[in-house]
A and B are shown apart, each in its own frame.
Chain A
């Protein structure tokens, strides 16, 4: 018997939740035991390269962020804070640093650190660089430029070329042009399908929770990096998502159980306590979160003409297309233009600026964001919460503030 749309979406979610275990601290340790060369990166390390080289790559900030959710999260965050790092350091980074201090991480074959997307991740990289049990592990450092010109992409692409040489030297694996093209083409396909999904979610009522774009992206990037086979599986996952969404649009069906009344932009990372907020907003207020940093995507295809063109376009894709890197690394124009574009394209009625305590970029841009919303008649709410630590501003408080805001703005 054919599955219902709801069953398909539930299955997709269940599969994703299972796959995300690979991103946790336990997953990091599992990845080290898979028999492949194993890299630990401070942040997103462009999965196309490890996938094409059949290498596992785990990401410290992602493991850190995963550690801020679930049972015992508050205690872990407190322990991380007690270590003596800067008090207001982003908790996902603090948690990564805590994992280092706790000595529970495996020894990788290579460490890749970067300053992207922010100073805090840069510092986590410095801690990884100076972590004694990893003293003899080869290290590669990626300097992500803040500009958005061809020169910047060229600079970053040249570093990727060097990075590939280092990975080859350390692991003995080769990045062949043929394999890289195959992976790049698949990556382009995945990105294109995520764009299709985004287009479909413009429909009113919104057919499927737009956050599924984040889930698909994380499967194709982060989970894929940990195990190359997951990269190919992600394509199928995204395709099934697009198929069900397309069908729901044709049938003019909205999100199951939601009477959509309000569409809003949550302009930051989706919080680790989001399950205590977003379902309530949908069910009680009919308020659908149309976009977050990680559910908003732009299409930067990889140019498969040559190895150099692939590396340069992967660089561009990384710098301009990686969520959070896009918002945090570049100028205010990118940040503000995206707000207007998202609100227009996805018919958002309001913009919520969570302003996570550890995000220096959004905390430096809040006036600009407010002004640009005013100019474009987009109701704007500033929160000032911690997306990883729900004690800072509990989800109930966030809900109440958003509810009052929607009421007072007549939404």
Chain B
């Protein structure tokens, strides 16, 4: 299902999100700009922007197999998102980046760096930050030290000075972007949203793969276009929310929306989790503001000890606000963190009488036959079988 959205900006976002290298990134590079890759939404883009770099979130988009990565990561026992992402690194898809910072959000993600360092891909700057698994002042302070160390290493390697002023500017820019992204999400509360779930994913993913100022300006244009769209006809059978790990392509949403569902919200690592809240724009230390935001404001990652009640609240709040008929909990095979989280959430949703479909799948949506059947049955069930 498509919303019928006619927008040049939107088409641009779709192109950017459906591949890795794109004309804007290429242009940035040709003009001498530096690009910093990163994994995990807990790695703060603001630090890279303040260093004058283009932050680019590393993903597995376009990977059809993980043959090369499987040499490093045992294919049967490591999440395919990690393997496809690393496969893209090995095939040279990320040769355009000047560096990469790997965040240790989960065990698989953490080990990307170890394997990258031992691989033939010689990226000039490779670094890591350890992301706390707790959400308290002590953890925020630990993360601040991690960020301070990374800042110093980046300054030394790239010969730049990351001033507080530049950090505050970057914070403001990213806050603005998150504000616009949330506004787009809010439009989906409507009975007849002007944008589908699959389209929204493209919009959000594009934001981590292009120059930020341009993205902010484009987002503003898109928001205004969407606000002026009037959709009078209901084109779906049921409103669905997706909860789970990295959701960096629209394939799952496409399946739901092709079968009569409409994805109206998500809590995923490339969606709802990324756009949550804002960094405080005052205080003496911008780096501390970033650390506090990542550790204290948005602890929605199942890796965080004690995160479940917060995830539960966020999901239940969104179910109510976005009039969700059913939740799809998706897990990539071998994802221990989301595997446990979806197990807990499934029980609670069922107890609350909210239908949930638990899907264990691979990162690439190649074998969709069985998946489609299950999704179709779910949509039929939650919609009462009537259009």
Question: Which residues of A approach B to under 8 Å, CB–CB?
Answer: 83-90, 97, 113-115, 118-120, 122-127, 129-130, 139, 141-147, 151-152, 155, 158-159, 162, 328, 331-332, 355, 357-361, 363-368, 371, 384
Contact = CB atoms under 8 A, between A and B. Distances in A.
Contact of A84 (B73, B305, B358): B358
Given A141-B305, A367-B115, A355 B74 contact: yes
A129 B312 CA distance: 13
Contacts of A146: 104, 110, 130
10 contacts: A84-B346, A88-B76, A113-B306, A119-B336, A122-B303, A127-B343, A129-B308, A365-B114, A366-B74, A368-B114
B222 interface: no
Nearest to B339: A86
Nearest to A125: B305
B357 to A, nearest CB: 12
Closest CB pairs A-B (n = 8): A86-B339, A123-B340, A364-B111, A332-B114, A143-B134, A141-B305, A363-B74, A119-B336
Given A125-B305, A145-B132, A332-B118, A84 B343 contact: yes
Contacts of B305: 113-115, 122, 125-126, 129, 141-143
Interface string B114-129: 1101100000000000
A85 to B, nearest CB: 5
Contact of A367 (B72, B132, B133, B340): B72
A360 B108 contact: yes
Interface in B86-118: 104, 106-108, 110-111, 114-115, 117-118
B1 interface: no
A371 B343 contact: no
B77 A85 contact: no
Among B115, B139, B142: residue with most chain A CB under 10 A: B142
A365 B338 CA distance: 22
Interface string B339-355: 11101101000000000
A89 B145 CA distance: 33
Given A83-B343, A84-B346, A360 B111 contact: yes
Contacts of B341: 123, 126
A143 B143 CA distance: 12
B138 interface: yes
Interface of B: 71-74, 76-78, 82, 104, 106-108, 110-111, 114-115, 117-118, 130, 132-134, 138-139, 142, 145, 302-303, 305-309, 331, 333-341, 343-344, 346, 358, 360
Contacts of A97: 340, 343
Given A87-B360, A355-B74, 4 more contacts: A86-B339, A87-B333, A97-B343, A360-B334
A126 B369 CA distance: 33
Given A126-B307, A129-B308, A119 B139 contact: no
Contacts of B73: 363-364
A363 B77 contact: yes
B76 A357 contact: yes
A143 B334 contact: no
Contacts of B308: 126, 129-130
Contact of B142 (A142, A155, A355, A384): A155
B80 to A, nearest CB: 12
B292 to A, nearest CB: 16
B385 to A, nearest CB: 26
A120 B115 CA distance: 21
A85 B347 CA distance: 11
A5 to B, nearest CB: 41
A355 B344 contact: no
Nearest to B338: A86
A277 B189 CA distance: 60
Nearest to B108: A360
Contacts of B71: 367
Contacts of B74: 355, 363-364, 366, 384
A123 B306 CA distance: 10
A373 B291 CA distance: 40
A389 B341 CA distance: 24
A57 B233 CA distance: 61
Contact of B333 (A88, A90, A119, A126): A88
A221 B360 CA distance: 37
A120 B341 CA distance: 11
B111 A365 contact: yes
B306 A129 contact: yes
B138 A85 contact: no
A168 B35 CA distance: 51
A127 B344 contact: yes
A141 B134 contact: yes
Nearest to B139: A143
Nearest to A142: B305
A85 B118 contact: no
Contacts of A365: 111, 114
Contact of B138 (A86, A114, A120, A155): A155
A178 to B, nearest CB: 28
Nearest to B346: A84
B106 to A, nearest CB: 6
Contacts of B306: 113, 126, 129, 139, 141
B61 to A, nearest CB: 21
B78 A364 contact: yes
Nearest to A86: B339
B118 A371 contact: yes
Given A87-B360, A155-B138, A367 B343 contact: no
B168 to A, nearest CB: 26
A383 to B, nearest CB: 11
